[in-house]
Structure 1
Amino acid sequence: MKLNKLHYTVEDGIAVVQLDYPTNLNAIDEEMADELLYVVQAAEADESVKVVVFKGLPRAFSAGGDIGYFYQLIKAGGDVNMDGLIGKVGKVTDGLKKMSKMVIASVSGAAAGAGASLALTADFIICSENAKFIMAFVNLGLVPDTGGSYLLVKQLGPKRAMDICATGRPVSAQEAKDLGIVYRIVPNDALDEETMKFAKKLAAGPIISYKNIKRQIYAAAFAEYQHYLENIEVPCQRECARTQDFAEGVCAFMEKRRPHFTGQ
């Protein structure tokens, strides 16, 4: 598959997935979702791959969804149907959770919306001091997707997950570390070096043990994940995407003004 928004390389047992679409700060649209799904499947099938690293741009790991695309559809009078996109990103995150290899997210700058959810999917997050995690969906009148609500509840419990999802507030690198979301914070200019150092350490470790630890943890904590993605996340987002509040949230974001939500 030709990759237009990602780079995928494998060296010394480490697969590196570089999100690289600066035009919209690595927003995850259907094309990127297809590419992410492809590399997840490729890494899992490649016996030479022992560890997978996801990284973004210095300014942003990923800004989430392609709000500009939604804005164009809304202004043209069209409906926004996210079912296909949400189904694909759900397969990406479930694939990473089921993956037999360790997964590291190397986060610099903003990880917002689906980008935050993608980072949360990793087994380890190493981030720079300027990193921030934002469940920004509510600011558009949406619900977290890409598994975001499920992952936060499992990692933090329902009360803290509610705080982060319902307020859409930025979570700093230090707060994320204190909450146990982030494994390690490093200086901005040391992120790549420190991420690869840790990846190499994992790649030299007991790979079969790692594989089975992941299998145990998935069974203990994520056995209902696929059911949640298909039967809760997709219909919830479908309902929200049909509202006037969603259209207002998108327009307000693009027009750089406060949204006026009406609950319709």
Structure 2
Amino acid sequence: MTAPVPAFSSPDEWEASGVRLEVDGEFAVVTLCHPQRRNAQTPAMWRALAGVGRELPAAVRVVLLRAEGVSFSAGLDRAMFSPEGIPGEPGFLALAGSSDQDLDASIAAFQEAFSWWRRPDVITIAAVQGHAVGAGFQLALACDLRICAEDVQFAMRETSLGLVPDLTGTKPLTDLVGYARALEICATGRWVFAKEAAELGLANLVVPAGELEAAARDLAAPLLAAPRNAVIETKALLLGAGARSYQEQVAAERAAQARRLRDLAGIGD
């Protein structure tokens, strides 16, 4: 059995693991802050990201995910593949030797760092520059919106390492670019540069690198200006649209609009 992994609850511990959280009222900024390692991802970073999601103040409406340095995230820390692993962390060899239940639980814990970005009460924006590889690509895909620098380079390299993308990235990628293109991107591990990212819908906007954060904040401003409950209802409608039939979707629209009208009129349930 693999040893239980401690959960980080302290912002200082988060930052030591490469994640910094700053909150200004309804706006929060999450920064990947290990630029010297090109923000390579580790289980400690994933625990920190999951901790941010769990402890995000309820008042926050928009979260900007950004990264220091030349790369958004170069993907997994390759030490995870070594027999020694990362000190204090279970490496892939140790994970492979655990029971089915423990292995599933370990991967589920990793996925928590990626899954909260699409919850309906917040809008999340990734500002992506340089390399966004593997886990880095999936972290960008975890967000609702992506503003990309002109030097962005996406790649899904898990398959070339004998793995699969398992950090929640396969559904948003397929939703954005379609099955055939998603399969090609994942199975070949090729680079997707800024122009193609915009054409495929991976990037909502491409800007010069020096304008990246300003463009992301410019997008955040009207999101913060819109009535919160209307944004929440709209996001929920759109997130669920793919799983509903046409008639189910229009019924969901009616129900959401009824809630909005009654809320605006001050009429309770």
Q: Which has the higher contact order (CA 8 A, sep 6+)?
A: 1
Pairing partner for 1:64 from 67, 75, 85: 75
Pairing partner for 2:173 from 131, 134, 152: 152
The change in CA–CA distance for 1:92 and 1:217 in structure 2 (over 3 A counts) is: farther
Q: Could you tell me which residue of structure 2 aligns to residue 120 of structure 1?
A: 141
Q: Do residues 87 (structure 1) and 108 (structure 2) align?
A: yes
Whichever residue aligns with residue 98 of structure 1, its letter is: R
| Structure-to-structure mapping, 1:238-257, within 5 angstroms | none
Deviation for aligned residue 1:133: 0.8
Q: Could you tell me which residue of structure 2 aligns to residue 184 of structure 1?
A: 205
Pairing partner for 2:33 from 16, 20, 29: 20
The change in CA–CA distance for 1:21 and 1:222 in structure 2 (over 3 A counts) is: farther
Which structure has the greater CA radius of gyration? 2
Q: Could you tell me which residue of structure 1 aligns to residue 186 of structure 2?
A: 165
Query: Which blocks of at least 5 consecutive residues in structure 2 are unaligned?
Result: 1-8, 86-90, 97-102, 245-269
87-96 or 163-172: bigger deviation: 87-96
Deviation for aligned residue 1:222: 6.7
Whichever residue aligns with residue 67 of structure 2, its letter is: G
Where do 4+ consecutive residues of structure 1 move more than 6 Å?
none
Whichever residue aligns with residue 6 of structure 1, its letter is: V
Deviation for aligned residue 1:12: 4.2
For residues 58 and 52 of structure 1, the distance between their equivalents in structure 2, rounded to whole angstroms, comes to 20
For residues 20 and 243 of structure 2, the distance between their equivalents in structure 1, rounded to whole angstroms, comes to 29
Deviation for aligned residue 1:72: 4.4
The change in CA–CA distance for 1:209 and 1:41 in structure 2 (over 3 A counts) is: same
For residues 187 and 41 of structure 1, the distance between their equivalents in structure 2, rounded to whole angstroms, comes to 33
Q: Kindly report the root-mean-square deviation, in angstroms, between the aligned alpha carbons of the 2 structures.
A: 2.1
**Superimposed CA distance per residue, residues 140-174 of structure 1 (whole angstroms, 9 cap, x where no aligned partner):** 11111212222212222210111100000010011
203-212 or 214-223: bigger deviation: 214-223
Whichever residue aligns with residue 28 of structure 2, its letter is: A
Pairing partner for 1:49 from 60, 64, 83: 60
142-151 or 167-176: bigger deviation: 142-151
Pairing partner for 1:208 from 229, 250, 260: 229
Q: What TM-score results when the alignment is normalised by the length of structure 2?
A: 0.75
The change in CA–CA distance for 1:28 and 1:88 in structure 2 (over 3 A counts) is: farther
**Superimposed CA distance per residue, residues 100-153 of structure 1 (whole angstroms, 9 cap, x where no aligned partner):** 110000001111101101101111100100011110112211111212222212
For residues 92 and 215 of structure 2, the distance between their equivalents in structure 1, rounded to whole angstroms, comes to 46
For residues 58 and 175 of structure 1, the distance between their equivalents in structure 2, rounded to whole angstroms, comes to 23
Q: Could you tell me which residue of structure 2 aligns to residue 136 of structure 1?
A: 157
Tell me if the contact between 2:72 and 2:131 (Cα under 8 Å) persists in the aligned partners: yes
Q: Do residues 106 (structure 1) and 115 (structure 2) align?
A: no
Q: What secondary structure is seen at the aligned counterpart in 1 of 2:21?
A: strand
Deviation for aligned residue 1:32: 0.6
